[in-house]
Structure 1
Amino acid sequence: MTVAALIVAAGRGSRAGEGIPKQYRQLQGKPVLARTLWALLSHSGISRTVVVIHPDDRDFYEEAIRTLPSPSWSILPCVHGGETRQDSVRNGLEALATLNPEIVLVHDAARPFVGPDLIDRAVEAAERWSAAVPGTPVTDTIKVIGDQSEVLSTPDRSRLRAVQTPQAFRFPQLLDAHRKAAASDLHSFTDDGALAEWAGLPVHVFEGESDNIKLTHPVDFQEAERRLKGEEMTCVTRLGTGFDVHAFSEGDHVWLGGIKVPHDRGVIAHSDGDVILHALTDALLGALADGDIGTHFPPSDQQWRGASSDRFLAHAVELVRKRGGIVDHLDSTLLCEMPRLGPHREAMRQRIAEIAGLRLDQVSLKATTTEKLGFTGRREGIAAQAAATIRLPEVSA
């Protein structure tokens, strides 16, 4: 399934107090929007992201993008919002129409704590039901009141849910619903789930997250600051190493660092035999103390025959992020007489950065010969070693 994310960041956020729009305010040195974007960009299931902004906020937006800890290759050009939130979402959907993703997640810029598990559930809910919203149980008793503040009814709170974002939809159906509402001159829906209901789509509720708070009032920002300070104080750094080797065979190319490199030999391998990506994958798994590449992708499993190794590295990166961790740096050294790394180094670094969701300066590649010693010196095969540095939340004993 191709999944796109649409972040609504065109509001003014007046309830958050005086100052710049809340989505651009700083939380522990980073704009709220940057934190929200990173939560979505770092999820391996999301292929493209579009942000809808207020026309006056271009400078704020560009500054937020510059603070992201990874290349912005998956972010489409920003889109200007409309008079209402509904108009803004429709503008974002129209911008995604040329890509025609199968699923779209609509998310508020002011919810920077959206977690990978919630995103997983959103995608699964859209696949299953076509229109779904995350919700959390209501713990307070709710009263419906009249014009004179008299109680009219008390709903059964076991059947009530407080709705969050990301809200998840099959893209064509949500776009069609928005177009129908605009054609009917309806512009006041503040929730895409409600608009989908109006359009006749059955909308389901899946499990939300209590931590997925929306920053609305000044006290919300104070609580978010306390939370981030606590998270940053309890992270520990881990280092993992990896090594991989493949023998040469007949062929006309090898895969290295996610790039197809012309060569007078191929390699014997169950997958595509990319020694650099395999070594990096093992380095990340080592830092997690979570087995090795053969544990997660056993050679005996035929589904991995000829598989592209970018899937292995992306999986390892996702495991780090599901543990609440951050990949800080990836480093690999290629050991061979031929082919030469130099002509392809920057393309490989860029490809690894894309797979792992890192900046280019967080990826290092080197190469060395073994002075014609050993199997690499005799040009019988190719090898790579790697190191990965990550940060994980510290777990008390």
Structure 2
Amino acid sequence: MTVVAAILVAAGRGNRAGPGRPKQYRDLHGRPVLWHGLSALLAAPRVAHVVVVIHPDDRSAYDDAIALLDVAHAAKLEPPVDGGETRQASVRAGLEALAALPAPDIDVVLIHDAARPFASVELIDRAIDAAVTHGAALPTVAVADTIKRVDGDGRVLETYDRAQLHAAQTPQAFRFGAIAEAHRRAAGVAGTFTDDAAIAEWAGIPVFTFAGDLRNVKLTTPADFAHDGRPAPGLIGRTGFGYDVHAFGDGDHLIVGGVRIAHDRGVLAHSDGDVVLHALTDALLGTIADGDIGTHFPPSDPQWRGASSDRFLAYAAERIRARGGIIDHLDVTVVCERPRIGPHRDAMRERIAAIAGVRPGAVSIKATTSEGLGFTGRREGIAAQAAASVRLPATTDLDEEG
């Protein structure tokens, strides 16, 4: 089994982003920039350990950011490491921290910049596969512009063949031992290496490329933070709807909106029977025309028996982000005579926000009865209707009409 670790580099000051907090702690769609990239690394099933390299002055901001993470992934996150004067020194500090872990030897390491918050789990998987195959690899995208080499006076000296040019991204992926040794050797070399692939090249390690992602942009200047780091004209809105119902059965509680509520009945369900999270999962999947909850988590599969429904909603939210999408709003109506939903509304909003990776203000919970009519009126069960609003890149393959 290949043991994979990741380093998230977040020790820089980000001066080009303008005045204010370091860019990795600025708000991006209700969460710090660092939270987004870290969440993707932690959610990647094949990544076993994650180390974040931070500036010593940022410990409080870092603690606030990780407090918002899904607790299900907490075991993967190692203690933060103080960075150095340069990115190169910070990466080396992260590599040494991983080497010191009391864990099985690490085979592959991913090195990712916190300033790239839109990396998807699919991109992370490609990085791991490329490292296993080649030993050293980085994601790249083709250069669309014509590139000129100029002198100090602005005179054009050469025009490059852009067919041979590729823009580098992160996460870059390497066999752990080889890149760790290369970084140790490069520590005493004059000059600056702009990325870890350049250090591998200098050390004589063949470096290969794999398909990057145009959505995996780097936030650098103040303009990059407009519209949550994405250009508004490139996004289109989509809305999805979901519905779920469960009959009451024996039990002493219900799980509704991720919150345990004491009740004189339970529900009959294959999983934990959370109608709110099930309806929201279908609503999100609907925005990307990606089937329904039964498509991805069939009730015939015994592994989902009694499963916590937060896994379903988190999965659907990640499917949105994997397509470069942004979740704008989640709206739910719960239909039941009992239990009363109102006293638990705020707790539900907080829990759903944490699972889906949005701010609580983007989650609405409403409740109603059916005035004694139908199965809910007879107190035989509980139902929920949900709507989800998202924005997706206009270039998504969902938009075949162009």
Instruction: Determine if the TM-score, normalized by the shorter chain, exceeds 0.5.
Output: yes
**Counterpart in 2 of 1:327?**
327
**Counterpart in 2 of 1:88?**
90
**Unmatched runs of 5 consecutive residues or more in structure 1:** 141-157
Give runs of aligned pairs for residues 330-369 of structure 1, distance below 5 A.
Answer: 330-369=330-369
CA distance in 2, matches of 1:227, 1:249: 47
For 1:284, the aligned partner's letter is: L
Note closer, same or farther for the CA distance 1:162–1:324 as it changes in structure 2 (3 Å cut).
closer
CA distance in 1, matches of 2:318, 2:237: 17
Q: Retained in 2: the 8 A contact 1:71–1:360?
A: no
CA distance in 1, matches of 2:201, 2:41: 28
CA distance in 2, matches of 1:53, 1:9: 5
For 2:341, the aligned partner's letter is: L
**Counterpart in 1 of 2:39?**
41
For 1:296, the aligned partner's letter is: H
Note closer, same or farther for the CA distance 1:39–1:86 as it changes in structure 2 (3 Å cut).
closer
Q: Retained in 2: the 8 A contact 1:36–1:114?
A: no
Secondary structure of residue in 2 paired with 1:290: coil
CA distance in 1, matches of 2:35, 2:126: 18
The more displaced of 365-374 and 107-116 is 107-116
> What is the CA-CA distance between 1:279 and the residue it aligns to?
0.8
Note closer, same or farther for the CA distance 1:99–1:267 as it changes in structure 2 (3 Å cut).
farther
Paired residues, what number? Answer: 365
Q: Retained in 2: the 8 A contact 1:87–1:187?
A: no
1:90-129 deviation per Cα after TM superposition (whole angstroms, max 9, x unaligned)? 4445777779797753213454564554223124446778
**Counterpart in 2 of 1:281?**
281
CA distance in 1, matches of 2:384, 2:359: 22
CA distance in 1, matches of 2:33, 2:343: 36
For 2:340, the aligned partner's letter is: R
The more displaced of 268-277 and 123-132 is 123-132
Matched, 1:108 2:113: yes
1:319-342 deviation per Cα after TM superposition (whole angstroms, max 9, x unaligned)? 222332211111222222333334
**Unmatched runs of 5 consecutive residues or more in structure 2:** 147-162
**Counterpart in 2 of 1:385?**
385
CA distance in 2, matches of 1:12, 1:318: 29
Secondary structure of residue in 1 paired with 2:43: coil
CA distance in 2, matches of 1:343, 1:227: 35
> What is the CA-CA distance between 1:224 and the residue it aligns to?
6.2
> What is the CA-CA distance between 1:276 and the residue it aligns to?
0.8
> What is the CA-CA distance between 1:282 and the residue it aligns to?
1.6
Q: Retained in 1: the 8 A contact 2:40–2:120?
A: no
**Counterpart in 1 of 2:9?**
8
Normalising to structure 2: TM-score of the pair? Answer: 0.66
Note closer, same or farther for the CA distance 1:284–1:21 as it changes in structure 2 (3 Å cut).
closer
Secondary structure of residue in 2 paired with 1:241: strand
**Counterpart in 2 of 1:154?**
none
Q: Retained in 2: the 8 A contact 1:314–1:356?
A: yes
Q: Retained in 2: the 8 A contact 1:280–1:388?
A: yes
Secondary structure of residue in 2 paired with 1:358: coil
Secondary structure of residue in 1 paired with 2:389: strand
Secondary structure of residue in 2 paired with 1:392: strand
Q: Retained in 2: the 8 A contact 1:332–1:364?
A: yes
For 1:80, the aligned partner's letter is: D
CA distance in 1, matches of 2:24, 2:270: 49
CA distance in 1, matches of 2:8, 2:267: 44
Secondary structure of residue in 2 paired with 1:366: strand
For 1:208, the aligned partner's letter is: G
Q: Retained in 1: the 8 A contact 2:329–2:390?
A: yes
> What is the CA-CA distance between 1:270 and the residue it aligns to?
2.3
For 2:236, the aligned partner's letter is: V
CA distance in 1, matches of 2:320, 2:7: 24
> What is the CA-CA distance between 1:275 and the residue it aligns to?
0.7
**Counterpart in 1 of 2:170?**
165
Note closer, same or farther for the CA distance 1:247–1:41 as it changes in structure 2 (3 Å cut).
same
CA distance in 2, matches of 1:207, 1:40: 21
Q: Retained in 1: the 8 A contact 2:82–2:93?
A: yes
1:185-230 deviation per Cα after TM superposition (whole angstroms, max 9, x unaligned)? 95659555677899999987544346756688xxxx6996999998
**Counterpart in 2 of 1:208?**
212
Note closer, same or farther for the CA distance 1:121–1:287 as it changes in structure 2 (3 Å cut).
same
Normalising to structure 1: TM-score of the pair? Answer: 0.67
Q: Retained in 2: the 8 A contact 1:34–1:65?
A: no
> What is the CA-CA distance between 1:5 and the residue it aligns to?
5.0
CA distance in 2, matches of 1:162, 1:54: 27
CA distance in 1, matches of 2:96, 2:349: 33
CA distance in 1, matches of 2:361, 2:5: 26
Q: Retained in 2: the 8 A contact 1:6–1:104?
A: yes
1:360-396 deviation per Cα after TM superposition (whole angstroms, max 9, x unaligned)? 2222223333343322232221211212111223345
Give runs of aligned pairs for residues 113-192 of structure 1, distance below 5 A.
Answer: 114-115=119-120, 117-125=122-130, 133-134=138-139, 164-168=169-173, 173=176, 178=180, 186=187, 190=193, 192=196
Q: Retained in 2: the 8 A contact 1:324–1:393?
A: yes
CA distance in 1, matches of 2:372, 2:88: 66
Note closer, same or farther for the CA distance 1:22–1:202 as it changes in structure 2 (3 Å cut).
farther
Secondary structure of residue in 2 paired with 1:38: helix
The more displaced of 159-168 and 237-246 is 159-168
Secondary structure of residue in 2 paired with 1:295: helix
Q: Retained in 2: the 8 A contact 1:326–1:391?
A: yes
Give runs of aligned pairs for residues 182-331 of structure 1, distance below 5 A.
Answer: 186=187, 190=193, 192=196, 206-209=210-213, 231-331=231-331
Note closer, same or farther for the CA distance 1:388–1:210 as it changes in structure 2 (3 Å cut).
closer
